[in-house]
A and B are shown apart, each in its own frame.
Chain A
Amino acid sequence: MSDPLFEFCCRMGDNTLVLGHRVSEWCGVAPVLEEDIALANTALDLIGQTQLWLGLAGEVEGKGRDADKLAFHRDVWDFRNVLLAEQPNGDFGQTMMRQFLFDSWHLMYLKALMSSSHEQVAAIAEKSVKEVTYHLERSTDTVIGLGDGTTESHERMQKALDRLYSFVGEMFIDDEVDAAMVEAGIAPDPSSLRAEYDAQLDAVLAEATLTKPEDDFAHKGGKTGVRHTEHLGHMLTQMQWLQRAYPDATW
């Protein structure tokens, strides 16, 4: 295993990079102009956070790779994002459900990171918390609005939840990287956030009149990089094509 702090930074940065790219895929094709702009703002926030996390990862690694190198010159098996982030957009409801499930975890985790023993980690978390607070507010309202909306919007949101819920568990699985982070006082155990997450999820789903699937099965393999879903590779061919076709091209 490489340096656990490097792994940790890649996990944070790859989450925001992959989800940020996914959200940016809505640019110009969202159902209404206002949502289009809001989603683009969210994507930009996430890409901005990526620059900080992957920038720090490069520094920690000390091999001269910067955020761009890490983002555009790695292949699927090097990515450390959770599987939830790479799931396709589907319809607007599925995108917002994915966003809500991720935002809830993201905000809790970032809040915990604000008291990290690592100064830069704490600083990145503090900056990100302000942005992610708004992301969560927006995705929560939309999940409630569409879940408790028309028959069709309700059905679509339930379908989105059924489809995505099996990707929630991975965000709370502890492994040796997490153990090293806990040891160093850098980050909390992901599993320690599960109870709070579930309470918040249940409250929002109740208001949205949605039903949480009973099966607690959790897909895993994203944050370790062992087994990404097929979707990430397809996404990277789009996201990285320019650097693959014209390595080190600049503006």
Chain B
Amino acid sequence: MSSPESSPYKDSEASPHEETRKTEWPLWEVFIRGQHGLSHRHVGSLHAPDAEMAIKNARDVYTRRNEGVSIWVVEAVHIAASSPEEKGSLYEPSNDKVYRHPTFFDIPDEVGAM
């Protein structure tokens, strides 16, 4: 683990609009699979010097009440995200295609979570 005072991280923050502060640990996004969850869910973010410490910090920050059985962390800078301005072209075309939404089926209770 490096001291936060002296780590020369260049691409540590995912915020594109400002220079990353040189003294800051990288930002990590945390995903946790809960006790009965089927997939990992994004729960929040934190700072850590490396992946191993990010998992340890995630354990302390996000699983204090027995929430999780599995933790993923990924450095925020490595996440590619769609832009909010593209909302129209990306999502609206599906609005008038109701047949794409499987809302016409009755799902038996025995099937459980899908």
User: Are A150 and B60 also in contact (CB < 8 A) when A32-B47, A34-B47 are?
Assistant: no
| Min distance, Cβ A41 to any Cβ of chain B, angstroms | 5
Q: Does B95 contact A (CB under 8 A)?
A: no
User: Are A152 and B53 also in contact (CB < 8 A) when A32-B25, A32-B47, A34-B46 are?
Assistant: no
Report whether B4 and A32 are in contact in the complex, using a CB–CB cutoff of 8 Å: yes
Residue in B4, B56, B61 whose CB lies within 8 Å of A31: B4
Closest to A144 in B: B1
Most interface-central of B3, B5, B57 (chain A CB within 10 A): B3
> Which residues between 100 and 138 of chain A lie within 8 Å of chain B, taking CB atoms?
134, 137-138
User: Are A145 and B49 also in contact (CB < 8 A) when A32-B25, A152-B5 are?
Assistant: yes
Q: Does A61 contact B (CB under 8 A)?
A: no
Closest to A42 in B: B60
| Min distance, Cβ A45 to any Cβ of chain B, angstroms | 11
Report whether B52 and A141 are in contact in the complex, using a CB–CB cutoff of 8 Å: yes
| Min distance, Cβ A157 to any Cβ of chain B, angstroms | 11
Report whether A141 and B56 are in contact in the complex, using a CB–CB cutoff of 8 Å: yes
B interface bracket (residues with beta carbon within 8 Å of A): 10 to 19
Report whether A150 and B1 are in contact in the complex, using a CB–CB cutoff of 8 Å: no
Alpha-carbon distance A137/B25, docked complex (angstroms): 21
Q: Does A54 contact B (CB under 8 A)?
A: no
Complex contacts, A145 vs chain B, CB 8 Å: 1-2, 49, 53
Alpha-carbon distance A183/B46, docked complex (angstroms): 50
User: Are A152 and B61 also in contact (CB < 8 A) when A38-B56, A146-B1 are?
Assistant: no
Report whether A149 and B56 are in contact in the complex, using a CB–CB cutoff of 8 Å: no
Report whether B3 and A152 are in contact in the complex, using a CB–CB cutoff of 8 Å: yes
Secondary structure type dominating chain A contacts: helix
Residue in B2, B56, B57 whose CB lies within 8 Å of A150: B2
Most interface-central of A32, A137, A138 (chain B CB within 10 A): A32
| Min distance, Cβ B41 to any Cβ of chain A, angstroms | 20
Can you list, as one digit per residue, whether each of B44-72 has a CB less than 8 Å from chain A (1) or not (0)? 00111100110011011100100000000
Q: Does B89 contact A (CB under 8 A)?
A: no
User: Are A34 and B4 also in contact (CB < 8 A) when A141-B52, A141-B53, A145-B49 are?
Assistant: no
Report whether B64 and A41 are in contact in the complex, using a CB–CB cutoff of 8 Å: yes
Closest to A39 in B: B60
Complex contacts, A38 vs chain B, CB 8 Å: 56-57, 60
| Min distance, Cβ A43 to any Cβ of chain B, angstroms | 12
Most interface-central of A34, A138, A152 (chain B CB within 10 A): A34
Subset of 27 A-B contacts with CB under 8 Å: A31-B4, A32-B25, A32-B47, A33-B46, A34-B46, A34-B57, A34-B61, A37-B60, A37-B61, A38-B56, A38-B57, A41-B64, A137-B56, A141-B56, A144-B1, A145-B2, A146-B1, A149-B1, A149-B2, A149-B3, A150-B2, A150-B5, A150-B6, A152-B3, A152-B5, A153-B2, A153-B3
Instruction: List the interface of chain A (C-beta within 8 A of B).
Output: 31-34, 37-38, 41, 134, 137-138, 141-142, 144-146, 149-150, 152-153
